[in-house]
Structure 1
Amino acid sequence: MTPKLNFYDPERRPWPHSRLERTSIVGHTTPRSVRLWFRVSSPGNYVLAVSREPLPTYGRPLVVAENDRYQLRAIASDRCEQVPTVAIAAVEMTPTTDLTGVVDLDRLEPDTLYYYGLFHPHRDRPWELPEDEPLTFRTFPETATEICFGIYSCHMPYDNRELVNIHMWDAFYRELNNANARLVLGTGDQVYVDGTPELSIWHWLRKVQDHNPSREQMVEWYRDIYRGYWGIPEVQRIFRGFPNYMMWDDHEIVDGWGSYTRDELAGVLDVSWKLRDRERHLRLAHQMFDAAKQVYHEYQHSHNPPTDDAENRFDYEFDCAFCSFFVLDMRGNHDFNRKEWGALGVQQWQRVQQWLDSHYQSDSRALFIISPVPIVHLYSFFINNIDLTLMGYQDDQRDHWEHRSNWDERNCLLDKLFEFSQETGKPVVFLSGDVHIGAAFTLSHDRFPEAKIYQLTSSGITYAELTPFGRWLLEQLVPERGTLGDRQGNPPYHFRKLAICRQNNFGIVRAIVREDGEVAIVYDLYGNDPNSPKETQKIRIEFDRLS
């Protein structure tokens, strides 16, 4: 009898909370358009309604055309209410994409609040969303003098099977609203497919690998992870209320993906009492990567700005008023075994150059580069000279831009950015996660004394694995100032640490056009207060006021 290979089992392996059934995500937004993502509870043909007025989500909805405009009528036994809509769209939800789908809306007005809802016209209880609170989104402004947004990474809120640190999502939501944030950036590890042993699909694969699980079964495992990690109401509230831009990192695939040798990757599926079957293990690992890529597209990338699937591209760019963003894919093309361009790949690097060149004469005043792994983090000596292979941390060292295998690629990127900032006067800001510490740095180089290059890191919002000693140790490995590692004879890049937070954290970034026309960058780093559970402490760094 063939055993069941389902990862999720409601009796033997239940999640410690309800799994995601239905929700929405506000995705890529412009002044006149929005991309909305949905997951629904059952297959079918749904209708999306969008209005400037709150939607009457009771009774039976009916869409009627009046004077070339659509009206939504909500009909119940005791009342009938009608609202004008600005958009009505049909969307079919099927199991092919795990009951997820996106709807693109255009011809909207800039800087305008809209209400939205989803219903199934042929059900007894038609309204799928919203379930309780109204659902809204706001389009981007065409012009502004201040843009504010949130950054976070490393959502892993499980201590064994206990759910912890969820108050950080509540605090994040509160501060986003207080700051009138325009968007939210998830800079990697929005889920952990290999978090705790009980909730790791790679632990599960090791157990069932002899039964040759299919790619389709692996896809279901990854979907189970997303439905678990995103089943938390506090997470969904941010996804539903702000434009969300996301990029994957290793834990959406497996810890250290792209930073292993082939033997090390095969070893991820080793069990101690069996001889390694290298080629079979590599085949299984790459099947898992293909499954991870499909599900990442379903749950995350599908609501980002569209990219060409034929190019196998996940990096992307977008604008919000005077700010421009380029989101790097540090995993889809990452291969430590490739001798050149092992982190980004040649084609992605060419797109970065084209994007940067286009902003020499553009109206953008500040550039942000989302690099899931930060440019500056630990001591170069520790990254490059301490062998942690026996502890299984060699992949973490190779992940870093500071690892010598990435120096040449990193230098190409920094050279281009420093030259750009020197010539234009525009600040360039790296936004990162990954490292389980929040931090802020300035970078400098003797050849580009007027360049304004910054590194802002937020990690992780709910990560629960580090002990207080582990957090303290990580903090000691982050230098106050120094130079980046480099080839002999190359003039080095310098850095200076401005702030660090070793607690769970998230960040609020402000870009402000001052009266003199210069752009100031302000970073508020909110960390969990170790002395007051469920409270946060704020560190503010104002880059235009640095001496």
Structure 2
Amino acid sequence: MGACSSHELEGLEKKLTSLPTPSEFEGAKVRLSHLVMIGDVTPSTAKVWVKVPISGKWELKLQTKPFNIDDSQLQDERMIFVKYLEAEVSLTFCFECDDLKENTTYFYSVSLQGATNVALNSDKSCHFCTAKSNYDSISVAFFSCHDPFSGNNDFEPGAWHSMSKLADDLDLIIGGGDQIYLDSNEPGITDFWVFLRDNQNLFYDQFVDSKGSFREHDFRIYMVQIIRQYYLIYWNDQNMSHIFGRVPSYMIWNDHEIMDGWGSLTLKEKVEVLKLPSLKTGGIPIEDESLLANMVEISFQACAQVYNEFQHCRNPTAKKYLPIQDNPTGFAWDYSYNRGSQYQFYTLDMRGNHDCTAASDRLLGRGQHERMLQWLDTSITKETEAIFITSPVPFVHWSSIVELSVHFMKSLKDDLMDAWSHPSNHVERDKILAAFFYISNLYSIPIVILSGDVHCVSAYTLTDKKKFPNARIINITSSAITRKPCAAQATNAFHAKGYMKTRENDGKGVSRLTNIHCEQNFAKSGVNNFAVVKAERKSISCTFHWVEKSRGKLKQSTVKF
């Protein structure tokens, strides 16, 4: 996506009158100054993402021994990657390191070239391991829903400390969505959309000229800068820094990186978010709905740009440099990767092309369905031991009682339409599950679906003994790692067990039972948590880790499938 120059940013800040500058926005909150995150690794490559504190020419150095020992003999094998960083890319960059050795520990140092006293990471804990070509087993940590404020002014550490202790035991980490909350509960931190709504007269004065023309470019530059502040505030956590600087991580966005219910709202409903019940700052609210719609769309483009800067650029991509257009509509955010031929991974994007008004394929879009089916056909072989699918929203979690609640709680409309279980998504859900069951049955391998979103914990086994007797699908949901969880009593509203229902005529017809049976294996709510899934050949187990709020104790429970 097109980045704005530092001169444009400086010029824009000089023009700002009543709106806060990026540094003034949530000025009391402490920002992340620097961070290193290990992204996608293969047996010969690694992505190393950095956030640096100041502009300049920065070096990433890799070597196979720690930096704080006599390394005179390592000069020939030390690898150095250099990038000049300016504020135009929020002082972030993803180094792409080639020609690495398989299954090798690399120690790293990030330093400002020519300034020996400006080094971000160079101690013994700063290292990662490249992937192997073959795996007998694998250990995967999964988390979602990182909102350390959740209505409070204090930073809630959640379960990060517990996860950070497991760094040496994990092969990789998956972030299943909502790694930040633009629409966090106030007063803990400003809601991005409330900020835009309550100050829309100031935005109008700032970005609409005397002829009534909307200065879209300047508006987008400002939105990008504000959204970056959320990442810098949300990711300012020592335990997060420790584990992401050690273990390769893969991430996908969900709605809260954009707007609550994004994709399950019509354009009219998105515009309604910006309509004012009252004005905090005085003036006349914007009545031009086309202008409000444009503000929403450009804000989405800004969200996508910053998501790419902080998260997606570390994911596997088909090309070395990701060619993202200024308008992200239609862009393929889904991706695949592997650990050897034994363990195959696919990450679904449920927001980038989610459109509840589409005629079909409303959650994923037709293109993503076709890519995934092709991947299943070409990547899964007789050597595959297990498949891992990241689906930010679970296939099975809430009971049908929750689905009926929309009739008396209209505010749940978008949350329910986000779900695979919503009648409007049944055709799409049934199609993708049919593909999963077919592949699982064909190779007699488990498919593990990892999900977040719902602020609770659950695990289900899905079987279809009639059509696919050798198939086994497991849906594990872990949410939230720091976000205020649902009440403990929410487990009463979970899907217990029984056959999955589908509604005919694209969700408008009669409801009938399918052949898919859902068995509940685990259920918990009211706790911050994460999950560690272990695969040993075709055997799958999951250990749920959580923090008991009342006592602050760390607890865990293991489920074998």
Shorter-chain TM range is 0.7 to 0.9
How many residue pairs are counted as aligned between the two chains?
507
Alignment of 1:282-321 (within 5 A): 282-307=293-318, 309=323, 312-321=331-340
Calculate the TM-score normalised by the size of structure 1: 0.88
1:123 is aligned to 2:123: no
2:349 paired residue among 283, 308, 329: 329
Query: How large is the RMSD of aligned CA atoms in angstroms?
Result: 2.2
1:188 paired residue among 162, 174, 177: 177
What's the CA shift for 1:272?
1.0
Whichever residue aligns with residue 115 of structure 1, its letter is: F
Calculate the TM-score normalised by the size of structure 2: 0.86
What's the CA shift for 1:410?
0.6
Deviation digits for residues 455-474 of structure 1 (CA, Å, limit 9, x no counterpart) = 0111000112x4xxx41342
Whichever residue aligns with residue 417 of structure 2, its letter is: R
Whichever residue aligns with residue 558 of structure 2, its letter is: R
Whichever residue aligns with residue 148 of structure 1, its letter is: S
1:485 is aligned to 2:501: yes
Whichever residue aligns with residue 292 of structure 2, its letter is: H
What's the CA shift for 1:124?
6.1
Whichever residue aligns with residue 355 of structure 1, its letter is: W
Q: Which residue of 1 aligns with 2:141?
A: 150
1:393 is aligned to 2:415: no
Look up the SS of the partner of 1:297 in the other structure.
Answer: helix
Look up the SS of the partner of 1:326 in the other structure.
Answer: strand
1:20 paired residue among 23, 32, 37: 32
1:114 is aligned to 2:100: no
Q: Which residue of 2 aligns with 1:500?
A: 523
Deviation digits for residues 206-246 of structure 1 (CA, Å, limit 9, x no counterpart) = 12222235111000111000000011112111211100100
Give, in whole Å, the separation in 2 of the partners of 1:226 and 1:115: 26
Q: Which residue of 2 aligns with 1:510?
A: 534
Runs of 5+ unmatched residues, structure 2: 1-14, 208-218, 279-284, 325-329, 505-510
1:475 is aligned to 2:491: yes
Whichever residue aligns with residue 472 of structure 1, its letter is: A
Look up the SS of the partner of 1:496 in the other structure.
Answer: strand
Alignment of 1:131-530 (within 5 A): 134-166=125-157, 168-177=159-168, 180-197=169-186, 198-210=189-201, 211-212=203-204, 214-273=219-278, 277-307=288-318, 309=323, 312-321=331-340, 322-361=342-381, 363-384=383-404, 386-388=406-408, 390=410, 392-445=411-464, 446-464=466-484, 466=485, 470-486=486-502, 487=504, 488=511, 491-502=514-525, 503-513=527-537, 519-530=538-549
Look up the SS of the partner of 2:199 in the other structure.
Answer: helix
Q: Which residue of 2 aligns with 1:97?
A: 89
Q: Which residue of 1 aligns with 2:51?
A: 39
Give, in whole Å, the separation in 2 of the partners of 1:352 and 1:448: 20
What's the CA shift for 1:263?
1.9
Over 3 Å counting, the alpha-carbon distance change for 1:297 and 1:83 in structure 2 is same
Whichever residue aligns with residue 137 of structure 1, its letter is: F
Look up the SS of the partner of 2:245 in the other structure.
Answer: helix
Shifted more, 333-342 versus 441-450: the winner is 441-450
Look up the SS of the partner of 1:215 in the other structure.
Answer: helix
Q: Which residue of 2 aligns with 1:63?
A: none
Whichever residue aligns with residue 279 of structure 1, its letter is: S
Over 3 Å counting, the alpha-carbon distance change for 1:451 and 1:124 in structure 2 is closer
1:52 is aligned to 2:64: yes
CA contact (8 A) 2:396 2:421 kept: yes
Q: Which residue of 2 aligns with 1:76?
A: none
Give, in whole Å, the separation in 2 of the partners of 1:275 and 1:293: 25
Give, in whole Å, the separation in 2 of the partners of 1:388 and 1:9: 42
Deviation digits for residues 241-269 of structure 1 (CA, Å, limit 9, x no counterpart) = 10010000000001111111222111111
Whichever residue aligns with residue 323 of structure 2, its letter is: D
Shifted more, 296-305 versus 444-453: the winner is 444-453
CA contact (8 A) 1:380 1:485 kept: no
Look up the SS of the partner of 1:338 in the other structure.
Answer: coil
Whichever residue aligns with residue 111 of structure 2, its letter is: F
CA contact (8 A) 1:39 1:99 kept: yes
CA contact (8 A) 2:382 2:443 kept: no
Look up the SS of the partner of 1:368 in the other structure.
Answer: strand
CA contact (8 A) 2:497 2:520 kept: yes
Runs of 5+ unmatched residues, structure 1: 58-70, 74-80, 514-518
What's the CA shift for 1:444?
1.5
Whichever residue aligns with residue 45 of structure 1, its letter is: K
Give, in whole Å, the separation in 2 of the partners of 1:203 and 1:133: 44
